[in-house]
Amino acid sequence: MSHEKPIPVPELITFDFGDTLVTSDPPYFARIAMSLNELGFDHTHGQVEAAYHRADFRHAPRILELAPFDNDTYMRTFSEVLLQELNIPDDREKIIQELGKVLLAFRPQRVLMPGARELLKELQRRGIRLGIISNNDGRTLKKCEDVGIAGYFKFILDSTLEAMMKPDPRFFRLAIDKAGVNPERALHVGDLWGSDVLGAHNAGLWAVWLKNPYLDPPALPKAVKAERLFDILNLIKS
């Protein structure tokens, strides 16, 4: 998953929120595992994390065929694929509803990912406009305020408030329209290959994927991978 030339210095960089800039204690995948355990399933944090990334990888191309799609369609179809990856074959609709109720009971503490604040400060110093594109619950701005990074962003787009979800290209185009930039001079950064990288690619943006050991995705002409968040600085060349 690489390209033959360095990423042109972007005028706009957008970030995914969860597990890209900010994680939580306990982490999201751990909360899903704990919720499944409460419902009587025997899944570990690591199993859920691997299944989630594989589900996103499988689901994104399928949901893009339905674009533009509504948020309910995304959530229903993704949840189905996730439960398949977790080898939960029966009563999926009921399990999805119960899982959602249990997850709502958690009130995790938000924690910045390593290098996040330093990266945002440096990008701001360089005069690059920054934004967030997040599949979230309507509280992305509040979550950014809680960890002290809201001030770095020109805009924060939340799927619940905007009524669209990644990987829908409309969501990424909304960001570049807000910034008034050409997609060739925009870069999106995220941890999910399907929702973040494939979604940005289909909207014409460059993309950086924060890689994981669970996937070996195909090459895309305007996508690169990074081991760590701060590595993004080394991928941007003048």
Question: Tens of pLDDT along 137-162?
Answer: 999 999 999 999 999 999 999 999 99
Do 14 and 76 sit in the same domain of this protein? no
pLDDT score for 5: 56
Query: Global pTM?
Result: 0.94
Upper half-sphere CA count for residue 51 (Cβ side, 13 Å)? 22
Average pLDDT of the chain to the nearest whole number: 93
Question: Are 232 and 126 members of one domain?
Answer: yes
Our count of domains for the chain comes to: 2
The domain in which residue 80 lies consists of 27-104
Domain termination residue (choose one: 71, 104, 137)? 104
Residue 199 has pLDDT above 50, yes or no: yes
Three-state secondary structure of the chain: CCCCCCEECCCEEEECCECCCEEEECCHHHHHHHHHHHCCCCCCHHHHHHHHHHHHHHHHHHHHCCCCCCHHHHHHHHHHHHHHHCCCCCCHHHHHHHHHHHHHCCCCEEEECCCHHHHHHHHHHCCCEEEEEECCCCCHHHHHHHCCCHHHCCEEEEHHHHCCCCCCHHHHHHHHHHHCCCHHHEEEEECCHHHHHHHHHHCCCEEEEECCCCCCCCCCCCEEEECCHHHHHHHEEC
Do 99 and 117 have their domain in common? no
pLDDT at residue 97, as a whole number: 85
Q: Is residue 1 part of a domain?
A: no
Question: Domain boundary at 88, 104, 120, which?
Answer: 104
Summarised one tens digit per residue, pLDDT across range 78-108 is: 999 999 999 997 777 888 888 888 887 888 8
**What is each CA distance from 85 to 80, 89, 125, 135, 234, in whole angstroms?**
9, 10, 42, 20, 35
**What confidence tier does 4 reach under pLDDT thresholds 50, 70, 90?**
very low
Residue 41 belongs to some domain of the structure: yes
Residues 45 and 136 in one domain: no
Domain boundary among 104, 125, 154: 104
Q: Average pLDDT of 227-236? A: 93
Between CA 164 and CA 151 the distance in angstroms is: 24
> What CATH number is given to the structural domain containing 172?
3.40.50.1000
CA 147 to chain CA mean position, Å: 18
